[in-house]
């Protein structure tokens, strides 16, 4: 097992691993491996877009230095569980609107105290912003219409000054007839127009052919009037 440039991520050949915060427990049927008395969990890039982003060459770890994260669209907690391994001391607020997906997320939070699930619609951040407070990173993977708008509203409500975002933008679906490039351009334009520039764009193929990762940089400081 070799350390990588992304803090907390290990690799064996092309396979990525995180150190299991709850040894002996699997979250999604992943391989567990013990090396030198430490248990690692395989991080599947076909199941987690964050692992896909790393393997597609992310220069920096988006979670680096975060003490508080707002995660929109937690589903059953696959990616959440790896962030939980990577940020054992952080607060991970995880918003999920489907009660069916929320049940396993709640179960996950019983084993992992840094996972704080919220049953809510990410289109209504005013319902949970006071509980979440100010976060260093917003991770969004909601696969629904208005993805840039949802990000912006959550960022305005919770992202601290200098905070960052990672938007897993869905660009292909059976009901979507527009070109992926047009969807990306429109989202980038909407984000930049509200002072949230995209600093990196990564196509997640072959791991996900439906998504492009947009890393949203800190808001530029307001210019000083003289």
Ligand X SMILES: C[S@@+](CC[C@H](N)C(=O)[O-])C[C@H]1O[C@@H](n2cnc3c(N)ncnc32)[C@H](O)[C@@H]1O
Binding site for ligand X (CB under 6 A): 48-49, 72-73, 75, 78-79, 95-98, 101, 121-123, 141-144
The CB-of-115 to ligand X minimum distance in angstroms stands at 12
What's the closest the beta carbon of residue 28 comes to ligand X, in angstroms? Answer: 8
| Shortest Å, Cβ 76 to ligand X | 7
User: For residue 172, what is the enclosing H or E element?
Assistant: none
- Residue 224 exposed, middle or buried by CB count within 10 Å (0-12, 13-18, 19+): exposed
Q: Report whether 154 contacts 181 (CB < 8 A).
A: no
| Residue whose CB is less far from ligand X, 72 or 148 | 72
In angstroms, the Cα distances linking 126 to 37, 47, 56, 76 are: 45, 30, 35, 24
Nearer to ligand X among residue 28 and residue 217 (C-beta): 28
Residue, CB closest to ligand X: 73
For residues 38 and 28, what is the distance between their CA atoms, to the nearest angstrom? 19
**In the complex with ligand X, which residue's Cβ is closer, 83 or 198?**
83
Q: Using omega within 30 degrees of 0 as the cis cutoff, is the peptide bond preceding 206 cis?
A: yes
Residues 6+ apart with CB under 8 A from 120: 95, 96, 97, 127, 128
Question: β-pairing, 68-72 with 15-19?
Answer: unpaired
Q: Report in angstroms how near the CB of residue 220 gets to ligand X at its nearest.
A: 28
Q: How far is the CB of 223 from ligand X (least distance, A)?
A: 35
Alpha helices for 6-66 (secondary structure H) = 49-55
Q: Would you say 10 or 71 has its CB closer to ligand X?
A: 71
Conformational region of residue 172, where left means phi above 0, alpha means psi within -120 to 50, and beta covers everything else? beta
Please identify, using beta-carbon distances, which residue of 70 and 72 lies nearer to ligand X: 72
Q: How far is the CB of 3 from ligand X (least distance, A)?
A: 24
Nearer to ligand X (CB atom), residue 142 or residue 223: 142
């Amino acid at each position: 097992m070799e350390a990588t440039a992304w803090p907390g991520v290990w690799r064996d050949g092309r396979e990525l691993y995180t150190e299991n915060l709850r040894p002996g427990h699997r979250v999604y049927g992943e391989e567990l491996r013990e090396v030198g008395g430490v248990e690692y969990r395989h991080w599947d890039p076909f199941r987690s877009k964050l692992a896909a982003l790393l393997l597609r060459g992310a220069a920096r770890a988006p979670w680096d230095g975060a003490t508080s994260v707002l995660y929109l669209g937690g589903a059953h907690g696959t990616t959440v569980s790896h962030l939980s391994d990577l940020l054992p001391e952080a607060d991970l607020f995880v918003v999920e609107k489907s009660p069916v997906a929320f049940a396993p997320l709640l179960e996950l939070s019983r084993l992992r105290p840094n996972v704080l699930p919220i049953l809510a619609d990410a289109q209504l951040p005013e319902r949970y912003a006071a509980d979440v407070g100010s976060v260093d990173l917003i991770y969004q993977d909601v696969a629904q219409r208005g993805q840039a708008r949802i990000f912006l509203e959550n960022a305005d409500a919770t992202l601290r000054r200098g905070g960052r975002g990672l938007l897993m933008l869905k660009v292909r679906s059976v009901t979507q007839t527009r070109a992926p490039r047009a969807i990306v351009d429109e989202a980038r334009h909407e984000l930049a127009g509200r002072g949230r520039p995209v600093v990196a764009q990564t196509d997640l193929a072959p791991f996900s052919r439906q998504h492009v990762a947009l890393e949203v940089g800190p808001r530029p400081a307001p210019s000083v009037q003289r």
